[in-house]
Amino acid sequence: MPLSIRFHDQRSQNAEHSLRETVLAGFAERPKATPPKLFYDRRGSELFEQICRQPEYYPTRTEELILARAARDIAGIAGRDASLVELGSGASRKVRLLLEAMHPASYLGIDISEDFLCASTQRLADDYPWLEVHAACADFSRPMSLPDGFAGEHPLAFFPGSSIGNFDPREAQAFLANLHELLPAKGGLLIGVDLVKDRSVLEAAYNDRAGVTAAFNLNLLERIRRELDSDIEPDSFVHRAFFNQADSRIEMHLVSSRAQDVTIESERFHFAAGESLHTENSYKYSAEDFHALADGAGFRALAMWTDPLALFSVHYLQRE
C-alpha cells in the first residue's frame, strides 16, 4: 500500500503556453529557435535519461560523485531541522544521497511535468517511509511560493544537473532572484553548475558516439509531428552541437539538409539549405563568474565542491 503524497497544483492558468503556440512562435523567430523545455515529452525524458548514461556525458556521473563525497558536509551545513526542496524533481539518485545524509522530516519535489513528478515522488515515499513527501506541479522559472502545509522552516533548495545552464545569464539571475523570494533569510540553495573546460570535452558530451543526443534533439521534430498537424520530416534535419566560446555556451541546433517548406498547423515556414532551428543553449561558468551571478541575486557562497578534473561544481549558497 503506497504511502500518500501531498500534491499541490501550482500551475498558473494562462501563463502556460501550449505546445502549438510555443512552436509557431519559435519557428517565426529569426533565427528560428525553440525553448529547450519542448524536448521533454515522455520519449524526450527517456532519451535524456539515456544521455546521462553515455560515456561522453560527464555531468551526471561527476555530480553524483561530488555529492556522494560531500553529502555529510552538506548535511552539516544545512543543520538538523532542515527540509529539502528539489527543483525539477527527476528520476535522480542524487537526491537520495542527500536524503540519506540529511534525514530531513519533509521533502518537496517541484516539477512542471505532472506524470514525472508523481512517479518520482511516489518512489521516494515508498523507499523512505519516515519522510513526509510533498509534490508541487509548478513552473519554477516563474515566481512561486512554498505550498501551504509544507513544514519547511529551514528549507534547503536543491537544483542539480546544471539545469541553470539553460537560462542565459540574465534569466539565470532572475531565476535566482525568484528563489531569493521563495526562501527565508539564511535559507540554503545547493546548486550544480557545469564548468568551462576544454572545447573537445564539452563538444564530445553533446555529440555522443551512440547518437543519443542527436535522437534527443531530433525527437523535438518527431514530437511536432505526433502532437501537432505538421508534415515536418525529421530525416531532413541533422543534429549539430558546438561550443560558442564568446558566449560560453554549448548550442544545439537542427540543421535543414536542403531547402524546404514545412507546414505546422496550416502555417508555412521556409528553411534554406543549411538553415538551423536553434533548440538549446547550455551555459558553462567559471566558479568566479557563477559566484558573481549568485552574489548579484543576494546569495552568498558558503562552500563549493568539485571533482579532481574540475569538470563540474556544486555550490552551497545562503540567502542573505
- Answer for the pair 184, 312: CB distance below 8 angstroms, yes or no: no
Residue with smaller CB distance to ligand AVJ, 134 or 284:
284
- Indicate whether 213 belongs to the interface with ligand AVJ (CB under 6 A): yes
- Of the candidates 284, 165, 280, which has an alpha carbon nearest to the alpha carbon of residue 217? 280
Kindly state the number of chain residues that form the binding site for ligand AVJ, as judged by CB under 6 A.
11
> In angstroms, what is the minimal distance from the CB of 120 to ligand AVJ?
15
Residue with smaller CB distance to ligand AVJ, 131 or 214:
214
Helix and strand element counts for the chain (H, E) = 9, 13
- Indicate whether 163 belongs to the interface with ligand AVJ (CB under 6 A): yes
Span interacting with ligand AVJ, options 106-114, 132-140, 151-159, 163-171, rule CB under 6 A: 163-171
Span interacting with ligand AVJ, options 61-69, 70-78, 160-168, 301-309, rule CB under 6 A: 160-168
- What x/- string results for residues 42 through 81 when contact with ligand AVJ is judged by CB under 6 A? ---------x-------x----------------------
Helix H or strand E encompassing 239: strand 237-244
- Of the candidates 233, 204, 220, 209, which has an alpha carbon nearest to the alpha carbon of residue 278? 220
Q: Cα–Cα distance between 159 and 113 in angstroms, integer?
A: 16
Span interacting with ligand AVJ, options 1-9, 11-19, 157-165, 303-311, rule CB under 6 A: 157-165
Residue nearest to ligand AVJ (CB): 282
Residues 6+ apart with CB under 8 A from 97: 64, 67, 68, 71
- Tell me the one-letter amino acid at 223: R
Helix H or strand E encompassing 82: strand 82-87
> In angstroms, what is the minimal distance from the CB of 165 to ligand AVJ?
5
- The one among 206, 305, 312, 316 contacting ligand AVJ by CB under 6 A: 206
- β-strand pairing of 276-283 with 249-256: antiparallel
- Lookup: cell for 304: 563549493
- Indicate whether 282 belongs to the interface with ligand AVJ (CB under 6 A): yes
Q: Which residues bind ligand AVJ (CB under 6 A)?
A: 51, 59, 161-163, 165-166, 206, 213, 280, 282
